[in-house]
Chains A and B, each alone.
Chain A
C-alpha cells in the first residue's frame, strides 16, 4: 500500500497570506489527524477528521482550519499567516490502532 502523501513538501509564504496543505491518507483509512512540529513546542495536535467530520481539536486559534472529503483526503488551511506559523505540518492517517505519518509539509513564513 502507498503511504501517506502530503503536498506540497515545501512552501514559502509571506505574513498575512493564507495557505492550504493537502494530505492523502493510506487507502482504506478513514481518520486523518494533523500535527504541527516546531523546535520550541514539539509535536502538537491540531485536529482530527473521521468520515468528513471533525472529531477532535487541539488548542490552536481559529486561523487553523481543516476539512475532509468523501474520499478521506484532507486539507488544512491557515489564514492570516504569522511568523510563528513556520513549522513542519504533519498529517497522520489511522485505521484502528495504527497511526501512520506522512513526510510533512515544511512551511516557512517570511
Chain B
C-alpha cells in the first residue's frame, strides 16, 4: 500500500516551453501533497504544499506563477513549470499524506521526475 506515482519520469524540453508533472496516489486518498525540488547531491527542498480543493501554499522564494500547482482530486496533483529555463532543470519529487491515516505525518514519495531544459 501507499504507492505514489509520478509521470513522466524524465522530460527534456526547450527553453520557453511549459512542462506538466503529475503526481498520483494509487491506493489511498491524499489530503495533502507536497512538491520538492532536489539538486544533485543535495537535500530535498520543499517548494509547496498542496491541499485538495484549495490553493497551494508556496515556500518563500518559490514563484507561484512559475510553478503552478493544481490539486484537483484526492489522488492527483500536478506541477506545471511555465516558460521553463535551463536553471529550472532539476529533480522534482512529490509526496502524499494519507487522508485517513491515524499517523498523519507520514509522507510517501513518488519516484521523481528528472526535468532537463535545453
Q: Do A and B come from one complex?
A: no
Report which A residues bind B (CB closer than 8 A): none
